[in-house]
């Protein structure tokens, strides 16, 4: 900064590089100065720029305003609803109009002690005495902006790649804006859509830097919880906030729109804090007794709740999937028509998506069903059958997991290896090849952390993890491997118990993306099927796979909590 004295107006006089001439009184380009702005200028406020709340970051777009809605009225109402920081983004205004808009906006923001930033235009930020700027990759260099702006000004930088983030760290920005996460109509995209997993990779780079991060691009109240949940890095680094444009600016009631978004954000922050405490071992400790107790309690609850379970599943096994759903105490509905997905989400307790007989025309229904379930906090159980068999399946799975958040992902070693992008275990069609993972417990825990859900790895020994706790289950019988779709019917049973857990009377909404104890529900599904399989195989009327399946359904229907307590073979893995 220059050591020159402040001009009479109270603004800091910036240095120039000899190419742009600033007016000393209002710091706008000569010829654009509007003397009427002097009377509008608010006094500079003293704000602690190190404690900025980025939770709900409004990016303005006046072109999105509803008919007859005043911009300043909308701005104030959005702040009243919960907006914590504002960025003025105006690409079409000339300098004097932009400065006038900024000065008037700052009066409103200062009234509520809300920071105001300017997109791109450092000169406008200086002229209006706002709190800082947000820069794009092709805008003024951060170092130069820092030299021109008053000490303590906020500087944010847009990032679309890990390389951008590393560069932002070197430039010591205050925060980064990561995007676009989803497709957006408010801005012409010059870089590819990142998706939630891409955001998580960038957040990982910020560990220990003190730099905060907000996500931007197509974020609204429908996909917000999925965005927050899915963007968390492997080391539990979460977003500090989200930037929203149209969901607030286009709303006739921006106060209500902001409040709805803010409630989701605050609830997630509470949930994430609880998750991190558990991850550090400061909360409940999983034991064999606690697992068995939770499973047997859920076996009683499912018969009382009789949850309706929506299943988009493998057509080869849809009948037996429906039958096992009924046998464990739930009720199935098998439907694939996209136009009824939202209605079914309202009445069903949970959703199973199984891609065993995947067709392109089924993808839309899966997308809508999963998104609708997320909005209603209903569990989504995902079975990526044969995902490694073709690029078509891989692309479908990638699209689905970027669109909605799974509660439980279930698969064999080959399927989960393909999902994780590792070649440690290969697959042949829907089957795994080889001896499996060297450390399956560690693999399943890491995948659960990455996907932010419960992961079930099926095999001779089943492994289940929520990314914090991991258990292995050593029940089952070889006849389960000799009937078609045993993995698929497991998905139906897991979905049934997840739906029952979600509807349990003692479940409270902890701010997560779904209600219920998905970890215990997944364990219950695996234990119930494998123990029933053991009992069915011992029956005198079972001679082979053909007689085993009906006996299995019978045993599922008659299985008791006492049998599960007696026969379960559970090991808690401490990693």
H helices present in 348-485, as ranges: 363-375, 391-403, 413-420, 440-451
Task: Give the model's pLDDT for residue 468.
Answer: 87
- CATH T-level assignment (fold) for domain 56-270: TIM Barrel (3.20.20)
Task: Give the model's pLDDT for residue 276.
Answer: 72
Statement: 295-573 belongs to CATH 3.40.1190.20: yes
157 CB-near residues (< 8 Å, 6+ apart):
134, 135, 136, 137, 142, 164, 168, 171, 173, 175, 176, 177
Residue ranges of the chain assigned to CATH 3.40.1190.20: 295-573
Task: Give the model's pLDDT for residue 423.
Answer: 80
Q: Long-range contact list for 143-151, CB < 8 A, 24+ apart? A: 143/171, 144/17, 147/1, 147/14, 147/15, 148/14, 148/15, 148/122, 149/14, 149/122, 149/125, 150/1, 150/12, 151/1
3-class DSSP state of 457: strand
Low-confidence residues of the chain: pLDDT under 70? 1-50, 185-190, 274-275, 277-284, 426-435, 505-513, 575
Residue ranges of the chain assigned to CATH 3.20.20.70: 56-270
**Would you name the residues annotated as active-site residues?**
488
Smallest Cα–Cα separation from 519: which of 347, 305, 290, 306? 290
Task: Give the model's pLDDT for residue 271.
Answer: 77
**Cα–Cα dist 437/442, whole Å:** 9
H helices present in 411-517, as ranges: 413-420, 440-451, 486-503
HSE toward the beta carbon, residue 411, CA cutoff 13 A: 33
Task: Give the model's pLDDT for residue 3.
Answer: 41
> Is the sign of the CA dihedral 296, 301, 302, 307 positive or negative?
negative
**Cα–Cα dist 280/241, whole Å:** 23
Task: Give the model's pLDDT for residue 5.
Answer: 38
Task: Give the model's pLDDT for residue 98.
Answer: 96
Smallest Cα–Cα separation from 452: which of 204, 234, 248? 234
> Which residue shows structure tokens 């920005």?
173
Task: Give the model's pLDDT for residue 230.
Answer: 84
Task: Give the model's pLDDT for residue 29.
Answer: 39
Task: Give the model's pLDDT for residue 537.
Answer: 97
Task: Give the model's pLDDT for residue 402.
Answer: 81
Say if CB 103 and CB 75 are below 8 A apart.
Answer: no
Cα dist from 469 to 217, 342, 411, whole Å: 34, 33, 18
């Amino acid at each position: 900064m220059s050591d020159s004295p402040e001009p009479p107006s109270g603004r800091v006089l910036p240095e120039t590089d000899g190419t742009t001439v600033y007016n000393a009184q209002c710091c706008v380009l000569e010829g654009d100065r509007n003397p009427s702005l002097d009377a509008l200028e608010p006094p500079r406020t003293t704000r602690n720029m190190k404690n900025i709340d980025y939770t709900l970051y409004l990016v303005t777009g006046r072109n999105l305003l509803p008919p007859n809605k005043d911009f300043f009225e909308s701005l104030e109402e959005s702040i009243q609803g919960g907006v914590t920081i504002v960025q003025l983004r105006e690409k079409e205004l000339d300098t004097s109009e932009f400065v006038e808009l900024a000065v008037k906006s700052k009066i409103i923001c200062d009234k509520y002690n809300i920071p105001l930033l300017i997109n791109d235009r450092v000169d406008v930020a200086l002229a209006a005495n706002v709190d800082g700027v947000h820069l794009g990759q092709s805008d003024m260099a951060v170092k130069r902006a820092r030299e021109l702006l008053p000490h303590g000004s906020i500087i944010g930088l847009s990032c679309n790649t890990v390389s951008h983030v590393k560069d932002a760290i070197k430039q010591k920005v205050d925060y980064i804006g990561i995007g676009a996460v989803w497709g957006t109509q408010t801005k012409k995209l010059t870089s590819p859509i990142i998706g939630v997993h891409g955001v998580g990779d960038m957040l990982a780079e910020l560990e220990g830097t003190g730099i905060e991060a907000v996500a931007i691009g197509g974020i609204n109240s429908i996909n917000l919880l999925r965005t927050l949940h899915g963007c968390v890095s492997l080391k539990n680094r979460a977003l500090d906030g989200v930037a929203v444009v149209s969901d607030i600016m286009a709303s006739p009631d921006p106060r209500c729109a902001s409040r709805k978004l803010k409630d989701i954000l605050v609830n997630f922050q509470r949930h994430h804090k609880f998750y991190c405490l558990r991850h550090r071992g400061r909360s409940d400790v999983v034991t064999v007794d606690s697992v068995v107790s939770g499973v047997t309690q859920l076996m009683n609850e499912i018969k009382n709740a009789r949850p309706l379970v929506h299943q988009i599943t493998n057509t080869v096994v849809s009948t037996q999937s429906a039958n096992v759903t009924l046998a464990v105490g739930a009720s199935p509905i098998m439907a694939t028509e996209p136009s009824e997905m939202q209605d079914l989400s309202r009445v069903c307790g949970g959703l199973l998506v199984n891609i065993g007989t995947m067709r392109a025309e089924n993808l839309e229904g899966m997308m809508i069903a999963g998104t609708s379930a997320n909005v209603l906090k209903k569990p989504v159980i995902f079975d990526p059958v044969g995902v490694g068999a073709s690029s078509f399946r891989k692309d479908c799975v990638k699209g689905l997991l970027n669109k909605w958040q799974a509660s439980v992902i279930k698969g064999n070693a080959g399927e989960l290896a393909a999902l994780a992008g590792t070649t440690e275990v290969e697959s042949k069609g829907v089957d795994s090849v080889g001896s499996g993972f060297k450390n399956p417990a560690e693999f399943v825990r890491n995948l659960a952390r990455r996907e932010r859900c419960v992961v079930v790895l099926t095999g001779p020994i089943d492994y289940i993890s929520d990314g914090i706790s991991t258990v292995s289950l050593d029940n089952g019988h070889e006849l389960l491997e000799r009937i078609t779709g045993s993995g698929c019917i497991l998905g139906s049973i897991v979905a049934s118990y997840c739906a029952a857990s979600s509807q349990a009377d003692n479940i409270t909404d902890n701010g997560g993306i779904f209600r219920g104890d998905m970890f215990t529900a997944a364990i219950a599904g695996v234990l119930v099927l494998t123990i029933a399989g053991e009992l069915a195989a011992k029956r005198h009327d079972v001679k082979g796979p053909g007689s085993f399946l009906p006996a299995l359904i019978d045993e599922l229907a008659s299985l008791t909590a006492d049998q599960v307590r007696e026969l379960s073979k559970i090991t808690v893995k401490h990693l």
